[in-house]
Structure formats: C-alpha cells, structure tokens
Structure 1
Amino acid sequence: MAKAPSGKPLSGKQRSETNETIRFLLKLALIVFVFRSFIIAPFSIPSESMLPRLLIGDYLFVSKWNYGYSRWSLPWGVPLIPGRIFGSVPERGDTVVFRSPDPEPGDTDPAHDDHDVIKRVIGLPGDTIQVRGGQVILNGKPIPKQRIADFTLPLTPNFDATHCESDFQDTDAAGQPICRYRQYRETLPGGRSYRVLDQRDIPEADDTGLYTVPAGNVFLMGDNRDDSADSRFAAPRGMGYIPLERIEGKAMVGFFSTDGSAEWLKPWTWFSAARWERIGEGF
C-alpha cells in the first residue's frame, strides 16, 4: 500500500489526487507531442549559413503540415510513421527544416551526426543545377543575380569576430565593429526572390559540376553561399541531395531573437539582448 511521507498509508483522497496529477501530466505530454509533431514546432538558428535572412540567435516556428509526415516529423525521429504520408513537394525558394543525412559508415565526427538543419529549396526532382562563376544555373538558365547594398551585421556575443573573417570586419558610422558582406538578390522563375551573400570566389563552391536532382529528392542551398555545407557538396563536406521524407517542415515566422548578451542571473538583460525588430518576420 502506498505510504504518506509520515509512514501512514495514503488516504483515498490523496491517492485520487496523485492519480489525477499523473493523468494530467501524461495528457499534457501527449498534447505537446502531437502539436509539435504535426502542427507547429520551434527551431533555433545555430549558425550563419542562412545569412542574411536568419541570424544566430533567431528563434522561429516551423509549420509541420506543408510537405507531409514521416518519422522525422516526430521528436528524435521516433520510427512510428512508415515512409511518408500526405506527401507533397516544396516550392522553389521555400525555407525548410530537415533532418540531415546519417553520417557515412566509420565517420565519427560529431559535426556529421544527424541533426536538424535549415536551408533554401533551389532544385526540385528532375531539375538540373550547376553553379558557374557564383551564379546558379537552373535547368540551363541562369538565375538572375543582382548586386545590392552590402549587408552589415554588428559583432555581438553570439556573432563575434571568430564568425567574421578579418577581410570583412569594419566599423559603422558610430565606430561600432561590424561584419560587411557583398549582398545580391536572386530571382527564381516565377518571380520569387531572396537575398544571398557571396564574399569571395571559392572554386569548389562557385564552379560546380552539373547536378540532376533524383526523383524523391530536393537540392538545397544556404543563402550564405561561402559558408554553407549543402547539396553542392557530397558527404562528409556537405549533404548532397536531401530525400523528401527527411523534410520536417516550412519556416513560418520568427518569434524571438537575441544577440547572445543576456545572462540568466540578470533578468533585465533578457530584454536588452532581444532584437525586437526581428520578431514577427515571416518568410
């Protein structure tokens, strides 16, 4: 028989309250599991591969229903869904969260462990893609790439000088340290456009072979073209083509952003570190 802390048996009322609490917590856990798996899930940005659209310290909601469901829709990739159900193909230009491919046999580098990643969809099944001179060639036609004003980003605790090569470090009009990048606007067939960064000429990234996207896969690229391990590169340097069943959802809206200067024991810094202007930005 269950005992109270004093050693006395629990009364019927106490047992009932304990059971109700356990049932409530189990129901709450189930609701959170279902909501996160099939409706909306949070995602945080850990790297600069999607600059300028996404900064380290951005938090966003990802909608889970857009492209169907697979085991990777569930937390930790629990294998409860066979294959892919209610599947659909993303549109070019969508910003998607996906589970990276499994590491190659014998690859023990923790950076290559399967984990959630965010990139932009450039190629769909059957598309041909090549990069020449830093310009993406989609199905034999160059994607227009227009130079626009430089992108500048203040150096902050979560984006310090170690994230910005010395060649790109600068100061703004107030004398504050910043990182300055060459910025371009790409426009996909159909008129969808987005900004990309291209700091320098890197032969293996800016001049590639011709890729043909296999059925059931997509070709993904980071907007920060010189600092993104994506479909341009095979494993272990990149990720190659990404199977549709590994796509978890579509980036929907940013709900918070921090420059990394907050301290847990100083609650007022939670507000001063917030980048309020980024909250509510959609895709």
Structure 2
Amino acid sequence: MSQPVDKPAGKSATNEWVETFVVVVEALLIAIVLRSFLYQPFSIPTASMQQTLMIGDYFVANKFVWGYGKHSFSLGRYGNFTALDFELPIASRILGRDPNRGDIAVFRPVPQNMEYIKRVVGLPGDSIQVRDGRLYINDVMVEREEIGTAQDTDSNGQTVPVTVYRETFPEGTTHTIQEISDNGPLDNTPVYVVPAGHYFMMGDNRDRSADSRVLSQVGYVPAINLIAKAEARFFSITDNIPPWQIWQWPANVRWDRMFQPIDR
C-alpha cells in the first residue's frame, strides 16, 4: 500500500505559497531587468521599413550597444500600444558606442510620444539630400542596383507595385530599399545638414516612410533619444494578426522570416 508523502517538518501551506510567490517575483524581476537593460521586443505596425521589416514582424533590439538615453527605460508607446512613459533626467547618453551608418534604430522623435524605427542614414555633420529619388550623402550619390519588382501593401491594405533596389552606403554596407517611383513627394528635398549629436533617419520603403525628411514629424534625432538597435526577428505573421490567435498560424505565419538576423 502506498504511503502518503510527509511534508517537511515545520513547512506549512502558507510557507509554500510564500515561496512560490517569491519565485514568481524573482522571475518577473529578471525579465524586467533583461528588458530594461539588455534586449527589448518590438513589433512592426506600419510599412515604412518593408521589405527589411514587414508589417507583423516581431524583433528584439539591443539596448546596451549604444548605451542608455532619456527613453531607454520607458515602455512608451509603439504603434497602437500605450504604456508607462518614463524619461530619464540626463543630458547625454551613458556608456555604449555611437551608431554606424546603416544600423536600424528604435528611437523617439522629438515631436512625438511614440517609438519609431528607421535606418541611420546621416551621421553628425553630414549633408543629406534626395534628388529625383536618389540619395546623396555629402553631395555624392549613393549607389543603388535594381534587383527586382514586388507588390507592397501598407497598414491600410493599399497595395502598389514597387521597384526593389540594393543600396550601398559609402562605407560599403548594403541593404534593400524599395521605391514606388522617383518623383514622389519626398523624392526631391532640400539639403539637410545633420547637427552635432544628432542622426538622420530614413525608412527602407522610401515612398511610404515619414522620416527625418519631414522635419515637423521626425526631423533630426538627438543621440540621447536613441533607444535600441534592431538585431533579430523572432516571429512574423501577416496582416498584424495577434500572435495569441494560434489557430491563425498555419495560414498566416511567415515561417521563413522567423529567427533570423535583421540585415544591415
């Protein structure tokens, strides 16, 4: 006959509940520390970085590589999600290195109260201009090579044909961009001179991106407003379907985009 298992002497149900509670709290604290200081997950609600980051992509961003700024520990607002907004009372970034041209940055534009994600195009002191759809850095046209065509669908469900290019920055790094045409509203701009301690950001979906070319909406991004460097996708699903709707996965999860580094 089986015998009942005795509880350790002096260990009550209340003590067991307290121990369980402490373990849960410790796990939550570890998760909060990891999210606050090391890596933070984000999702993509708009088309401005397609095809590099598609609507419905989920990715992790490195928070310590560039050090910490005013909004590094803020849950803030991303897309339609609003949460705690905490701003550090500091005047400059703490620790970390400077971003490289071509890095993909999560940041807080000065005129906004939500996070944006774009590619670092202009460094402090650079002059940036777009002429007839071509990007110029310090008055030198950036090389681009046509690699195909595609259909691009934005967050409103509007689909347009686009031309896909491989763009190469002066430092030799390459990435993919796409254009509806070379004569859109932001395809001919004035010359932007990036102030000291600031960066110039552009989306890879050049004709569907409100970025630093729109000074009133994004403009020059102070280094202190950088939050994290995008590094790797861990999930991707079409049409911004909530990931918890598991029954939607078979027909809508983009398996080929999961667990991949984000290209430069």
TM-score in terms of structure 2 length: 0.83
Aligned to 2:90: 82
Q: In the alignment, does 2:103 pair up with 1:94?
A: yes
**Deviation at residue 81 of structure 1 after TM alignment:** 6.4
Query: How far apart, in 1, do the equivalents of 2:251 and 2:157 lie?
Result: 23
Gaps of 5+ in 1: 1-10, 104-113, 169-179
* 2: CA distance, partners of 1:139 / 1:32: 43
> d(CA) in 2 for partners of 1:264 and 1:145?
36
1:257 to 232, 236, 240: 236
Do 2:108 and 2:114's aligned partners in 1 also have CA atoms closer than 8 Å?
Answer: yes
Task: Give the 3 Å change call, closer, same or farther, for CA 51–75 of structure 1 in structure 2.
Answer: same
- Work out whether 1:247 is the aligned partner of 2:226: yes
Partner of 2:197 in structure 1?
A: 216
- Equivalenced residue count is 243
1:15-164 equivalences under 5 Å are 15-76=14-75, 77-80=85-88, 82-83=90-91, 84-103=93-112, 114-152=113-151, 162-164=157-159
2:80 corresponds in structure 1 to none
Aligned-partner residue type, residue 78 of structure 1:
F
Q: Retained in 2: the 8 A contact 1:262–1:270?
A: no
**Which segment is superposed worse, 56-65 or 194-203?**
194-203
Displacement of 1:259 in angstroms is 1.3
Q: Distance in 1 between matches of 2:199 and 2:242?
A: 40
Provide the alpha-carbon RMSD of the alignment.
2.5
Partners of 1:18 and 1:102 in 2: CA distance:
48
Counterpart-to-counterpart distance in 1, 2:144 and 2:244: 46
Question: Do the aligned partners of residues 263 and 139 (structure 1) sit closer, same or farther apart at CA in structure 2, a change above 3 Å counting?
Answer: closer
Task: Specify whether residues 160 and 81 from structure 1 end up closer, same or farther in structure 2 by C-alpha distance, changes over 3 A only.
Answer: closer
- Greater shift, 115-124 or 189-198, is seen at 189-198
Aligned to 1:177: none
- Contact 1:263 1:270 (C-alpha < 8 Å) held by counterparts: no
Q: Does 1:199 align with 2:199?
A: no
| Separation in 2, partners of 1:43, 1:267 | 19
**Structure 2 stretches of 5 or more lacking a match?**
1-9, 76-84
| Identity across matched positions, percent | 37
* TM-score normalised by structure 1 residue count: 0.77
The match for 1:225 is 206
